[in-house]
């Protein structure tokens, strides 16, 4: 008769569990440390591309600031003050050393710290991005789930046609059509800005909706919400289509796996099979797409902010590029890259919560 393996209990079992937990935690911190090193490498790469791209653009910053009436002596003096008289490599090294200490320079147009301009504009973009991603997720995931339940039927065909429309529709055209229809023609919603004149909430977080809620003013909150509806719906069309399509595809792929057939054979309710066995196992690629869309929306809200006159980071970057405001462009690009990589790190860490097999591995 074969001997059964001896089970360890008591303090030895607790000691083994504690050692395993400490090992898992050390592996997690090692992984986070490696991802932070990757973050530093990405930021260095982005800084190189942005810095040298800005310096190869045609035009002279000093001449742009002084105008046509600037004399040669004034131009030489301004280039000396801005450090533009030095080689580009030396300028880049000086920028990296200063950025490592949190100094991204002074804006050439506003005469403020470049990072202050970026941090002032970022909450507007963040509010718009989170609102658009919320709309895309709340509508996209259920649409993909219901479309996968009856593939090839009427709802599935309508949903896939709608998502194809969302992917193909240019953002600038859709934004203008929504603005003309609901703003200019029907006069249901505001045509731009963050709030009406005289209804601005006190700046606390920089996000008008949250600031109005913290101020305890229902009228300001409703006004900020009305100003957010059109740009958020415009920006949500593309991620909504991607989320719905990936949800449908992953649901169909997961529904054919053995554990799902076993759950159905055991007589579990259909809703429990769909939510607990199919959707749960399809969440990892869905969460991945949502995380990627968050990063893309943060960096791609330029057209929406321009159409609806929102003073966000995208619009600030465009204006800074046109005015050759090097410090603001560099600070904004590095900040967007940092947020993008940080979001990807959080998405990767969420896998351990969604799938216990990854946590055990």
DSSP conformation letters of 128-163: HHHHHHHHHHHHHHHHHHHHHHSTTSHHHHHHHHHH
With vertex at residue 243, the alpha carbon angle to CA 166 and CA 192, rounded to the nearest 5 degrees, is: 50
Structure confidence at residue 1 as a pLDDT band (50, 70, 90): very low
Listed range (14-23, 34-43, 97-106) with the worst mean pLDDT: 14-23
Evaluate whether 219 touches 199 at the Cβ level (below 8 Å): yes
Cα radius of gyration rounded to whole Å, the chain: 26
- Residue 15 has what pLDDT? 47
pTM value surpassing 0.85: no
- Residue 13 has what pLDDT? 46
Q: Structural domain boundaries of the chain?
A: 42-103, 114-360
Evaluate whether 329 touches 54 at the Cβ level (below 8 Å): yes
Structure confidence at residue 19 as a pLDDT band (50, 70, 90): very low
pLDDT in tens, 92-101: 888 888 888 8
Tally Cβ neighbours within 10 Å of residue 145.
20
Report the CATH fold assignment for 114-360: MetI-like fold (1.10.3720)
Mean pLDDT of the chain: 79
pLDDT in tens, 29-86: 777 777 788 878 888 888 888 878 777 766 666 666 666 666 677 677 767 776 766 7
């Amino acid at each position: 008769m074969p001997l059964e393996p001896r089970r360890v209990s008591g303090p030895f079992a607790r000691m083994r569990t504690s050692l395993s937990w400490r090992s898992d935690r050390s592996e997690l911190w090692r992984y986070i440390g490696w991802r932070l090193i990757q973050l530093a490498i990405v930021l260095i790469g982005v800084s190189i591309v942005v810095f040298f791209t800005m310096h190869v653009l045609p035009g002279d910053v000093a001449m742009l600031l002084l105008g046509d009436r600037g004399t040669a002596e004034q131009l030489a003096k301004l280039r000396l003050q801005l450090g533009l008289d030095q080689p580009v490599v030396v300028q880049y090294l000086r920028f990296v050393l200063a950025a490592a200490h949190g100094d991204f320079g002074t804006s050439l147009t506003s005469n403020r710290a470049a990072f202050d301009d970026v941090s002032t504009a970022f909450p507007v973009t963040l509010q718009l991005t989170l609102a658009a991603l919320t709309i895309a997720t709340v509508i996209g995931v259920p649409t993909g789930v219901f479309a996968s339940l009856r593939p090839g039927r009427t709802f599935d065909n309508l949903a896939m046609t709608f998502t194809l429309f969302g992917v193909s529709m240019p953002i600038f055209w859709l934004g203008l059509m929504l603005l003309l229809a609901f703003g200019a023609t029907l006069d249901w919603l505001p045509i731009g800005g963050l709030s009406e004149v005289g209804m601005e909430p006190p700046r606390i977080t920089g996000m008008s909706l949250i600031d109005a809620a913290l101020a305890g003013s229902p009228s300001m909150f409703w006004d900020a919400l009305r100003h957010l509806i059109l740009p958020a719906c415009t920006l949500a069309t593309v991620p909504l289509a991607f989320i719905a399509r990936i949800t449908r595809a992953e649901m169909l792929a997961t529904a054919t796996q053995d554990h799902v057939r076993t759950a159905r054979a055991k007589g579990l309710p259909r809703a429990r099979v769909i939510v607990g066995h199919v959707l749960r196992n399809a969440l990892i690629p869905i969460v991945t797409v949502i995380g990627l869309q968050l990063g893309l929306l943060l960096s791609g809200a330029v057209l929406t902010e321009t159409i609806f006159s929102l003073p966000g980071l995208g619009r600030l970057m465009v204006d800074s590029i046109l005015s050759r405001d090097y410090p603001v462009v560099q600070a904004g690009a590095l900040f967007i890259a940092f947020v993008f990589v940080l979001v990807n790190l959080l998405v990767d860490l969420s896998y351990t919560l969604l799938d216990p097999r990854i946590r055990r591995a």
